[in-house]
């Protein structure tokens, strides 16, 4: 079997031994040369690569070489095909490691131009991530992440964002959008969550004395923020705990209420800077 893309040509054969496979590759290569001449193409023997795919224990057979056009080609443990590292045992470990490293580089590059309180808007940051970071990480994943046999059911860890979800963040400054994201995900630097992830030296108790400093407590019950809470309810047009973070008006009011509480210092500083800006 032969296939290719642009200037990459791959010859594949299979059998009971690597020796037999190599003997089959020789006439296949000759036929490829004939076809190449017909279209004015040329092969570069010095770029040839050979790999024996097998999960059997190592043996002398797996070291079988092949001679094509006077060039001796010895087998490798892995080869790169169209940007995908294919190892001889088809375990994909090297490819996954390479993908993780590329993702790390791309993500670090993104972090240099944006943060939780400055940089491109949430919409533009997501656009950069989906256009650059995610494709870099998942390139070729349809090949190396083949599902195992069995009954597979589609599941999601969390409900994916849809158009209506992203609209909740429209009109917010960067630090306000990040605050809202933390509120809706409940992954936030309040004492109860910090304790749940075992941050040392943190008590779950609120400064008002309540046993757990959670989002619901700060937004709806903490006696230290009575005035801010009243302003939030007026702006949101509701004091319903179940609906506040499900609509744009309520989301904006909640984010703007939490920032001046100084519960999250990074956002308080950013808010002061925005207010001082001309």
What does the mean pLDDT of the chain come to? Answer: 85
Measured in residues, the chain has a length of 278
Query: DSSP secondary-structure letter at 185?
Result: H
pLDDT tens digit string along 196-218? 999 999 999 999 999 999 999 99
Closest CA to 43 of 66, 88, 11, 77: 11
Between CA 59 and CA 65, with CA 61 as vertex, the angle to 5 degrees is 130
Mean pLDDT across 87-103:
87
- Supply angle C-alpha 115, 117, 119, rounded to 5: 55
Please state the pTM of the whole predicted model.
0.66
Taking alpha carbons only, the member of 86, 7, 19, 79 closest to residue 49 is 79
**Residues 233, 235, 241: CA angle, nearest 5 degrees:** 35
Lowest-confidence segment of 114-118, 143-147, 151-155, 242-246 by average pLDDT: 151-155
pLDDT at position 275, please?
53
Residues 29, 13: Cα–Cα separation, whole Å: 11
Query: How many Å apart are CA 224 and CA 218, to the nearest integer?
Result: 9
Q: State the pLDDT at residue 161.
A: 61
| Alpha carbons 207 and 223: distance in angstroms, whole number | 10
Residue 22: pLDDT band with limits 50, 70, 90:
confident
- Neighbouring C-beta atoms of residue 118, cutoff 10 Å: 13
Taking residues 106-113, what's their average pLDDT? Answer: 87
pLDDT of residue 91: 86
Assess whether pLDDT exceeds 70 at residue 26.
yes
Measuring CA to CA, which residue among 40, 48, 85, 83 is closest to residue 69? 48
Tokens encoding 53: 């795919």
C-alpha separations of 261 from 148, 164, 173 in Å: 50, 28, 17
Residue 54's nearest CA partner among 96, 4, 19, 9 is 19
Give the DSSP letter string of 194-244: HHHTT-TT--S--TTS-S---HHIIIII-GGGHHHHHHHHHHHT---TTTG
Instruction: Give me the pLDDT at residue 278, please.
Output: 44
Is the model's pLDDT at 233 over the cut of 80?
yes
Say which residue the tokens 């050979």 belong to: 50
- Closest by Cα among 168, 104, 118 to 273: 118
């Amino acid at each position: 079997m032969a296939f290719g893309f642009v200037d990459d040509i791959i010859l594949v054969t299979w059998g009971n031994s690597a020796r037999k496979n190599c003997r089959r590759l020789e006439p296949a290569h000759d036929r490829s040369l004939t076809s190449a001449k017909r279209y004015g193409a040329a092969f570069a023997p010095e770029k040839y690569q050979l790999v024996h795919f097998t999960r059997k224990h190592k043996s002398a057979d797996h070291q079988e070489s092949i001679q094509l056009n006077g060039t001796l080609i010895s087998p490798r443990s892995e080869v790169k095909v169209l940007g995908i590292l294919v190892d001889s045992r088809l375990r994909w470990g090297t490819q996954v490691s390479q993908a993780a490293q590329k993702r790390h580089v791309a993500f670090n590059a993104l972090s240099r131009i944006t943060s939780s309180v400055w940089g491109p808007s949430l919409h533009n940051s997501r656009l950069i991530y989906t256009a650059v970071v995610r494709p870099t990480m998942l390139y070729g994943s349809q090949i190396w992440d083949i599902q195992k046999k069995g009954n597979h059911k589609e599941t999601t860890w969390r409900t994916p964002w849809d158009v209506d979800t992203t609209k909740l963040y429209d009109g917010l400054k960067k630090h306000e959008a990040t605050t809202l994201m933390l509120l809706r995900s409940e992954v936030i630097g309040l004492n109860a969550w910090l304790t749940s992830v075992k941050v040392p030296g943190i008590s779950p108790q609120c400064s008002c004395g309540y046993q757990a400093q959670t989002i619901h407590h700060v937004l709806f019950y903490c006696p230290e923020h009575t005035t801010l809470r009243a302003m939030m309810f007026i702006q949101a047009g509701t004091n319903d705990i179940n609906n506040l973070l499900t609509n744009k008006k309520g989301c904006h009011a909640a984010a703007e209420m939490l920032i001046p509480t100084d519960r999250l210092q990074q956002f308080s500083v950013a808010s002061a800077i925005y207010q001082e800006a001309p």
